[in-house]
């Protein structure tokens, strides 16, 4: 076996980020992923700037290892083609508003009758049932609605969005888990099932310790900038030329910090000697940290603290991150061959699997790039494919 | 079959957040998870405040559906017990610094000889190989090191930590994916494998569109508060009594916004009529949004925009989120029975699986709560268990 999901066929009807990210993960593991889009504009992410040789960088980042087919699901002929594809596939992923697939006659009940082995994964904003099941929602709205924004940013400052789309990405990651667990179950039972992942459910789940601390105390957490409620110094502190992040959870690290910065007297100061004392005297601590750390540039401190094994890190910008020797060494970023983009690079395979390593085999496809090829593989004759193309229920695209 | 992972045994040697979260996910899916801790203090997270009846809320939030065993891996007798447990288990998760397991004689090579079906998952900060493989790192350090802090916060402001531990949680989610894929593979090949997840690799992967946009332009993204580089208005805008988050990606939504707020003239203003124009005139747009939205409180706007299907959301705090009707309806938070805590609540099962739904069957265990019970199940006699307890290589604990 060369790849974990070799021989597994995925129909990816999802759009934007959560679903395409989930499907790409399955593709990285070796599945044959067929991205199905409506024939006019396709996935909404194809329109998101900035563009690279006319192609959305957003789209490029989450659609490798897929082939593209267009299909007009508003036409009965399109629905019939989907039912036929499902009869020969293992997994279907969709992120339409709750009820849309049923209205097209391709809901889970119908599709699982056609193929009882089908694993059907719906990704929704609010979940499949309940008073809000019909509400839509995108990453930033759920970052606000589910509480993430209320705990991110400076105390007293405006709400801050986490800089990458963590709500979409985490929902996609959990959808992938449900699909993989269902593949394992299917080996034992021979039966598929329906998976439901939601942006709301995932975000609530990721509140972990904040949620239980709230139930214990009745106190909702607030915004703390880069600081931590229970550990200090812990967060970003100013240096001569920027910031450095310290994570001093142990008093032994605090004593080492005082010694290496030439401020031995602080180690014995009862206002700062223990973690509880430092939390109680946070304003004093912040003054001391600023006084000490603004004396040298970040890189000099980094070396000093690394040598003393005191936990700290630079606040790297992405240009630095994406060229780190460690990132290069482990191919955490990688080149991807593309017919229209010389020098395409993107995050690579980051999960190690010793027996079935992930691979990148296909560039992110143009809209409908493999429509005819895929229909042929599913058994349609050349004349039927020509009819479909003539009627507009499918379209054929290319990068040229 | 009642649960996806029924009959699967997991040995969870990991600490703090990423590994315990991965192991809890497997437990939620029905696996028998045995949490293995060193006998003195146990998992570091047991010491993280705040506490509920003396028990860490942090620990409680990520350790349900596990039984607890203590084991001193620095003693040869402890290493021998671990090798025996591995011979009868399916999965092992660890998050020690790279090389620690090998030094104890229980590295992957040794353990996979004992049990070739073993799925061994290592979660590290920087990855298994490469120049930085020996460096440790916790969530906040990697939020800084891998670039997330450089894109989170106000433009020109200090670095901001995403309010929950997204780096640990995402690494745990991807570790779980590798484990589940390996279970599926093992059904076909009969062989286990080694999985490597890292905080650095996961965070780089989650940069998705930012990474490709950087490779296209050579420009590293910066901090934008709650705003979006390519869409406007999109982000948190001030109202009379707080903030509301708008996500107006389509000009049709902009026209609806202008109409419903009684500012029809803005819809035809060429400086604001299209998304590119609104991005080019962001300062003007921000003034207009503030002027319009500060006239009413957030809740009134929410109702108005909901009725007009204009995408927006309140910035909810966790006390509101954890009591939302939709959250209650789908059991996204749930009660967990606990011998020492009346009224324990925490995030529930958020991933729907129609045939093999997740369940919560066990409270987060006390240190060593099931030591004797587990050793008995693995075939040790009462006299051997008494010897182990007397020597201190294992300890028995309880909640009383």
How confident is the model over B342-377, as pLDDT tens digits? 999 999 999 999 999 999 999 999 999 999 999 999
Paired residues of A312 in beta bridges: A246
- The single residue of B12, B72, B139, B168 carrying the catalytic annotation is B168
Query: Is the bond preceding B50 in cis, omega lying within 30 degrees of 0?
Result: yes
What SS3 class is residue A19? helix
> Out of A195, A206, A332, whose CB is closest to B204?
A332
Say if A136 is an interface residue toward chain B (CB within 8 Å): yes
Q: Rounded to an integer, what distance in angstroms lies between the CA atom of residue B385 and that of residue B383?
A: 5
- pLDDT tens, B213-253? 999 999 999 999 998 877 899 999 999 999 999 999 888 99
The rounded average pLDDT for each run of 10 residues, N- to C-terminus, in chain A (400 residues) is 92 97 98 97 91 96 98 97 98 94 97 98 96 91 96 93 96 98 98 98 97 97 88 93 92 94 93 91 94 96 94 96 97 98 98 98 98 98 98 93
In this predicted structure, what is the pLDDT of residue B1? 60
| pLDDT higher at B399 or A173 | A173
The DSSP symbol for B97 reads P
| Contacts A48 to B, Cβ<8 Å | 209, 230
Q: What is the mean pLDDT of chain B?
A: 96
B213 shares contact with chain A (CB less than 8 Å): yes
Coil, strand or helix at A250 = coil
Nearest to B351 among A147, A164, A177 (CB): A177
**In this predicted structure, what is the pLDDT of residue B251?**
87
Contact A160 B160 (CB under 8 A): yes
Q: Is A168 tagged catalytic? A: yes
For residue B286, list chain A residues with Cβ-Cβ distance below 8 A: none
Q: Is B333 in Cβ contact with A204 (below 8 Å)? A: yes
Which of chain B's residues have a Cβ under 8 Å away from the Cβ of A356?
A: 181-182, 185, 193
Work out the widest C-alpha separation in chain B, in whole angstroms: 86
- Is the pLDDT assigned to residue B272 strictly greater than 70? yes
C-alpha torsion sign, points A154, A155, A157, A161 = positive
Closest CA to B373 of B397, B392, B393: B397
Contacts of A83 by beta carbon, 8 Å cutoff, 6+ apart? A106, A110, A111, A114
Read out DSSP for A162-209?
A: -SS-HHHHHHHHHHHHHHHHHHHHHHHHS---EEEEEHHHHHHHTTHH
Give pLDDT, residue B249: 82
Q: Chain B residues with CB inside 8 Å of A60's CB?
A: 212
Backbone angles phi, psi at B87, to 5 degrees: -65, -20
For A214, which residue in chain B has the nearest alpha carbon? B319
Q: Which of residues 316-335 of A touch B (CB under 8 A)?
A: 316-322, 325-327, 329-330, 332-333
Confirm if B344 and B376 have CB atoms less than 8 A apart: no
Residue whose pair of structure tokens reads 């229980």 in the numeric block:
B106
Measured between CB atoms, does B107 come within 8 Å of chain A? no
If phi over 0 gives left and psi between -120 and 50 gives alpha, with beta otherwise, what is residue A218? left
* CA-closest candidate to residue B350, choices A179, A143, A26, A126: A126
Q: CB–CB of B141 and A315 under 8 A?
A: no
Phi, psi of A89 (to 5 degrees): -125, 170
Q: To which H or E segment does residue A318 belong?
A: helix A318-321
Report the alpha-carbon distance of residue A355 to residue B151 in Å, rounded. 36
**A305 and chain B: CB distance < 8 Å anywhere?**
no
Top pLDDT among B155 and B185 is at B185
Asked whether B37 and B66 are in contact (CB, 8 A), the reply is no
Burial degree of A328 (CB within 10 A; 0-12, 13-18, 19+): middle
- Report the chain A residue with the minimal C-alpha distance to residue B351: A197
Per-residue confidence (pLDDT) for residue A275, from 0 to 100: 86
Look at residues A297, A298, A292 and name the one whose alpha carbon lies nearest to residue A315: A298
Q: Taking CB atoms and an 8 Å limit, are B149 and A226 in contact across chains?
A: yes
Q: Does B29 touch chain A (CB under 8 A)?
A: yes
B165 and A234 within 8 Å at the Cβ level: the answer is no
pLDDT greater than 90 at residue B275: no
**In degrees rounded to 5, what are phi and psi of residue A349?**
-85, 115
CA A32 to chain centre: 20
* C-alpha span between B286 and B234 (Å, rounded): 10
Give the minimum alpha-carbon distance from B185 to chain A in angstroms, rounded to a whole number: 6
Q: Give the three-class secondary structure for B90.
A: coil
A54 touches chain B (CB under 8 A): no
Cβ distance A181 to B215 less than 8 Å, yes or no, reads no
How much is the pLDDT for B231? 85
What ipTM score was computed for the predicted complex, to two decimals?
0.96
Using CB atoms, pick whichever of A229, A330, A347 lies closest to residue B211: A347
**Number of continuous H segments (helices) and E segments (strands) in chain B:** 18, 14
Count other C-beta atoms under 10 Å from residue A310's C-beta. 21
- Nearest CA among B371, B343, B250, B239 for reference residue B296: B239
Residues of B in contact with A286 (CB under 8 A): none
CA–CA min distance B176, chain A (Å): 7
Q: Which of A32, A168, A196, A264 is catalytic?
A: A168
Two tokens at A83?
């039912």
Is the Cβ pair A345, B215 closer than 8 Å? yes
Query: Which residues in chain A touch residue B3, judged by CB atoms under 8 angstroms apart?
Result: none
Q: Do A144 and B211 touch (CB under 8 A)?
A: no
Closest CA to A80 of A40, A51, A35, A114: A114
| For testing contact with chain A, the best of B107, B108, B147 (most A CBs within 10 A) | B147
Query: B378 and chain A: CB distance < 8 Å anywhere?
Result: no
- Nearest CA distance, B384 vs chain A (angstrom): 36
CB A174 within 8 A of CB A100: no
Q: How many CB pairs under 8 A join A and B?
A: 518
Question: SS3 breakdown of chain A: % helix, strand, coil, rounded to 5?
Answer: 40, 15, 45
Which of A160, A175, A165, A166 shows the shortest CA–CA distance to A206?
A: A166
pLDDT at position B136 is 87
What is the structure's pLDDT at A231?
A: 85
Both tokens of residue A268? 């014995």
**What is the pLDDT at residue A184?**
98
For residue A239, the distance in angstroms to the closest alpha carbon of chain B comes to: 12
- Domains in chain A (CATH in brackets) are 9-206+324-391 (3.40.50.10540), 234-314 (3.30.1540.10)
């Amino acid at each position: 076996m060369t790849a974990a999901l070799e021989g597994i066929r995925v129909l990816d009807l999802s759009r934007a980020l959560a679903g395409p990210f989930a499907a790409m993960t399955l593709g990285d593991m070796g599945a044959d992923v067929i991205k199905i889009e409506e024939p006019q504009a396709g996935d909404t992410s194809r329109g998101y700037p900035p563009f690279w040789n006319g192609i959305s960088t957003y789209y490029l980042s989450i659609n490798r290892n897929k082939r593209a087919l267009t299909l007009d699901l508003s036409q009965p002929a399109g629905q019939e083609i989907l039912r036929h594809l499902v009869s020969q596939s293992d997994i279907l992923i969709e992120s339409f508003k709750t009820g849309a697939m049923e209205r097209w006659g391709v809901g889970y009940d119908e599709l699982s009758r056609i193929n009882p082995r089908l694993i059907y994964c719906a990704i929704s904003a609010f979940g499949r049932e309940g008073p809000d099941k019909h509400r839509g929602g995108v990453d930033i709205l759920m970052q606000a609605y589910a509480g993430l924004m209320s705990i991110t940013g400076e105390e007293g400052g405006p709400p801050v969005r986490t800089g990458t789309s963590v709500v979409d990405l985490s929902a996609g990651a959990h959808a992938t888990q449900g699909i993989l667990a269902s593949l394992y179950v299917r080996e034992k039972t021979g039966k598929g099932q329906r998976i439901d992942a939601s942006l709301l459910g995932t975000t609530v789940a990721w509140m972990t310790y904040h949620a239980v601390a709230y139930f214990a105390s009745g106190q909702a957490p607030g915004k703390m900038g880069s600081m931590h409620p229970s550990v200090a110094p812990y967060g970003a502190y100013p240096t001569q030329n920027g910031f450095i992040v310290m994570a001093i959870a142990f008093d032994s690290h605090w004593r080492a910090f005082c010694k290496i910065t030439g401020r031995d007297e602080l180690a014995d100061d009862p206002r700062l000697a223990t973690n509880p004392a430092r939390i109680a005297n946070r304003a004093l601590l912040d003054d001391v940290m600023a006084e000490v750390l603004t004396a040298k540039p970040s890189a000099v401190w980094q070396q000093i603290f690394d040598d003393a094994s005191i936990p700290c890190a630079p606040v790297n910008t992405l240009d630095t991150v994406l060229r780190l020797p460690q990132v290069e060494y482990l191919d955490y970023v990688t080149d991807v061959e593309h017919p229209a983009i010389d020098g395409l690079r993107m995050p690579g395979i980051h999960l190690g699997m010793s027996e079935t390593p992930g691979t990148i085999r296909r560039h992110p496809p143009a809209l409908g790039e493999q429509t005819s090829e895929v229909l042929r593989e599913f058994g349609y004759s050349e004349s039927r494919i020509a009819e479909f193309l003539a009627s507009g229920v499918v379209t054929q695209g290319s990068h040229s």
